Amino acid sequence: MSRTINNVCIYGIGGVGGYFGGIIAYELMKVNRKKQVFFIGRGKHLEAVQQHGLHLITDKEKFHCIPNIATDKVKHILIPDLYLLCVKGYDLDGAVLEIAKNMHKETIILPLLNGVDIYDRIRNRLIRGIVLPACVYISSNIEKPGIVRQRGSAGHIVFGKDPKYPEKQFHELMEFLSQMGISHAWSYNTYSAIWTKYVFIAAFSLMTAYTGKSIGELLTNGNLEKMTKDIMQEVVLVGKAKQIDLDQAVVEKTIRKAREFPYETKTSFQRDYEKKGAKNEGDIFGGTLIRLAKRCNVSIPVTTKVYEALLVQ
């Protein structure tokens, strides 16, 4: 039987966490203060939220919301029934160690970050709780401290059962997300969705950072478009070696999807990479894929070439 979702923690209130956390806090302010939402953040963004609440701007409307608590430490909040884990990949390990200090055995962790090995990385450090493999589709970022802007289609979450507890049901979680107006889908093949997104995000993240060009510029340059497709094909090869069920036309469909983006679109990794010395998710896209390819005895020369060039630039 599912556990009722009463206390919710948004761990990481950047573009992804700020969007979903903003919606949840706004809805709970309207309808149900018996349920509580907590924000875990840091820096000037957290300070602004603590002082003035969070402002969420979408293409359709603007929200202003105030969480029950906004803090930088989980010890300051009640034990959550649900964590939305919305940090970048390079902060994942530290976040999981913090979450482990404030949870019960039925706490649900929904990881909303890039990568194909996120579930394994969490489970390597977390014995208790329920971890649901998931991926998220959203375009959002911190516009300035205290303000998150989301563009395009509404954020959408795809998730499935915890492989450790395949018998558990999650009706209460899906009901909660529906009540909050959050677009979501249950999947019996979550890893197919995770890898399908990875085909897109890994290839375009690596190539936009490698070339310094936008997604539109990559797709209008024959040689660069071919390199991007080559990386996608290498992701597919590794996925298939791991017995991931991927659409045979996933590369073509991914390219068509990318053509719908504004010509000047940059990837999040590209923006971070351009800030020399700043943390970035390069290892999530390049390092992880290279390690998985070696374990599966799969050759991925284009990904290796591009990632190694990024490491020395």
The reported pTM is 0.92
- As to burial, measured by CB atoms within 10 angstroms (0-12 exposed, 13-18 middle, 19+ buried), residue 51 is exposed
Contact partners, residue 149, CB within 8 Å, separation at least 6? 56, 57, 58, 140, 141, 143
- The yes/no answer on whether domain 191-312 falls in CATH 3.40.50.2300 is no
Other beta carbons within 10 angstroms of residue 57's beta carbon come to 18
What are the residue ranges spanned by the domains of the chain? 7-188, 191-312
pLDDT of residue 91: 95
Other beta carbons within 10 angstroms of residue 225's beta carbon come to 16
pLDDT of residue 1: 43
Task: Map tokens 């490491």 to a residue.
Answer: 311
Ramachandran angles phi, psi of 58, nearest 5°: -115, 180
Q: What is the pLDDT along the chain (313 residues), one digit of tens a residue?
A: 457 899 999 999 999 999 999 999 999 988 766 899 999 999 999 999 999 999 999 988 999 999 999 999 999 999 999 999 999 999 999 999 999 999 999 999 999 999 999 999 999 999 999 999 999 999 899 999 999 999 888 999 999 999 999 998 899 999 999 999 999 999 988 999 999 999 999 999 999 999 999 999 999 999 999 999 999 999 999 999 999 999 999 999 999 999 998 899 999 899 999 998 888 999 999 999 999 999 999 999 999 999 999 998 7
What's the rounded Cα separation, in Å, for the pair 89 and 119?
12
β-bridge pairing 156-159 and 134-137: antiparallel
Which H or E run includes 238?
helix 222-241
Ramachandran angles phi, psi of 104, nearest 5°: -115, 175
SS3 6: coil
| Structure-block tokens of residue 86 | 């919305």
pLDDT of residue 278: 82
Within 13 Å, how many C-alpha atoms sit on residue 53's CB side? 14
Task: Map tokens 């990479």 to a residue.
Answer: 273
What's the rounded Cα separation, in Å, for the pair 119 and 264?
33
State the DSSP code for 286: I
Task: Map tokens 């053509």 to a residue.
Answer: 259
pLDDT of residue 169: 87
Domain 7-188: CATH superfamily is NAD(P)-binding Rossmann-like Domain (3.40.50.720)
Other beta carbons within 10 angstroms of residue 22's beta carbon come to 28
* CB-based contact 177:108 (threshold 8 Å): no
In sequence order, the β-bridge partners of residue 184 are 157
In sequence order, the β-bridge partners of residue 38 are 9, 69
**Distance from chain centroid for Cα 184:** 14
